[in-house]
A = this chain, B = another copy of it.
Amino acid sequence: MISNKMNSLLSSNSTIRAMFEEGKKLSRIYGSENVFDFSIGNPNVEPPEAIKSIINEILNSESPNLVHGYMNNSGYEDVRDDISKFLNKKYDLNLTFENITMTCGAAGGLNIILKTLLNPNDEVIVFAPYFGEYKNYVNNFDGKLIIVPTDTSTFEPNLEYLKSAITPKTKAIIINTPNNPTGVIYSETLLENLGKLLDEKQEEFGSNIYLISDEPYREIVYDAATVPCILKYFKNSFIGYSYSKSLSLPGERIGYVVTNSSMYDFNSIISSLNIANRILGFVNAPSLFQRVIAKSLEIEIDISIYKKNFDLLYNHLVNLGFSCIKPSGTFYLFPKSPIDDDIKFCEDAKKFNLLLVPGSSFGCPGHFRISYCVSYDTIKNSLPAFDKLAKLYKL
């Protein structure tokens, strides 16, 4: 009696989640210290200690009916104002509270944007490898997902491939930088050229194309890398942001959407995001954590923990003979699988209690993803298992 859409999802439920359950099973059999679960992006770094005192400060100083009550569906105006000022300083912009819509994480943000934009059969372009949920989000609104093939030399979008993929039905393009699963940050030059190409295509087709930059990993970057701000390179652009990774608050579902002031039809778009928040059932981003965020804008988690994991694991894998692009951010590695069949490779890895995600889950077969947001000890203890896996494949 399940709807057709859900029925097909039931049978092909997220590989990542399935592996999460399998990890728990293996842990019961072998002991959790002997299972190396690199399958899920659940940050192991603790939220900043300050979050606790900020919550206390809010509960002790603000009226409970304000803290836990309804507000505008786009969020508290003072919180949105604080975020806009923070972004203005960071990127030299001129945003006001009106540019900011508070959302239930980046997932909520992407859904209200797509609800706002998509008519059935509108095309939404993503670049392989891509976060698998994009397919479901686009499908929620009967859009058509168009996958532009991977450029494995850089793992940046290939604009020549993109050029031929854009049609008059193209309504949106989703990019994800720093990228899950590759860890690559899209360069300023790439974004500049992307913006130009989209301007040309809009002119050619007399259409509006909207660019959505999904940036939950914006703050998880290494060696002083920075993520260029998409708003500067294309007028019809949105940023989807989340505090799930940058403050290790994935369960709290708190994030925001930034809408570019230069966007075509700006006023209707922001009104529509507001209504979409309401009618999709989010109503508003969770209220206490909106207020927490406003007081946490300058706070960061300790990235060095991820960097230490990264150094140990990346160097070990490269020394073993795995080929892997060097990421500039996120807590993922995306090495090449020694065989084309990445699903078989990940099955083999399980023999050594290594839980990895096949690249096929990201539309990019022949690779696999390692989430290294786990303890340093897990990484250290997993190295012999990677040795055995490399040996099995005669690397």
Interface set of A (CB-CB < 8 Å, partner B): 1-7, 9-10, 13-14, 17, 40, 42-44, 46-47, 51-52, 55-56, 59, 64-65, 67-71, 73, 104-105, 107-112, 115-119, 133, 136-137, 139-141, 208, 210, 248-253, 264-265, 268-269, 271-272, 275-276, 278-284, 286-289
Contacts and interface: CB of A to CB of B under 8 A. Distances in A.
Contacts of A281: 104-105, 107-112, 137, 280, 282
10 contacts: A2-B116, A2-B268, A3-B119, A10-B271, A42-B70, A44-B65, A69-B251, A70-B250, A107-B282, A112-B281
Name which of A1, A9, A111, A141 has the most chain B CB atoms within 10 A of its CB. A1
Contact of A70 (B115, B251, B275): B251
A281 B111 CA distance: 6
A288 B251 contact: yes
Contacts of A17: 73, 278
A250 B68 CA distance: 6
A250 B59 CA distance: 16
A286 B251 contact: yes
Contact of A69 (B43, B64, B117, B139): B43
A146 B279 CA distance: 18
A13 B270 CA distance: 13
Contacts of A276: 6
The number of times this chain is found in the oligomer is: 2
A274 to B, nearest CB: 9
A141 B142 CA distance: 10
Given A280-B140, A281-B108, A46 B65 contact: yes
A121 to B, nearest CB: 12
Nearest to A254: B286
A39 to B, nearest CB: 12
B269 A2 contact: yes
Contact of A104 (B64, B70, B104): B104
A292 to B, nearest CB: 10
B282 A104 contact: yes
A284 B178 CA distance: 24
A345 B234 CA distance: 49
Contacts of A284: 251, 253
Nearest to A208: B1
A71 B275 CA distance: 28
Given A51-B68, A70-B250, 8 more contacts: A1-B268, A13-B275, A40-B70, A52-B59, A56-B59, A133-B278, A136-B279, A288-B289
A9 B287 CA distance: 25
B140 A9 contact: no
Contacts of A7: 268
A56 B283 CA distance: 26
A118 B286 contact: no
A116 B250 contact: no
Contacts of A265: 1-2
Contacts of A55: 55, 59
A203 to B, nearest CB: 15
Contact of A9 (B1, B71, B73, B275): B275
A94 B73 CA distance: 37
A279 B70 contact: no
A69 B51 contact: no
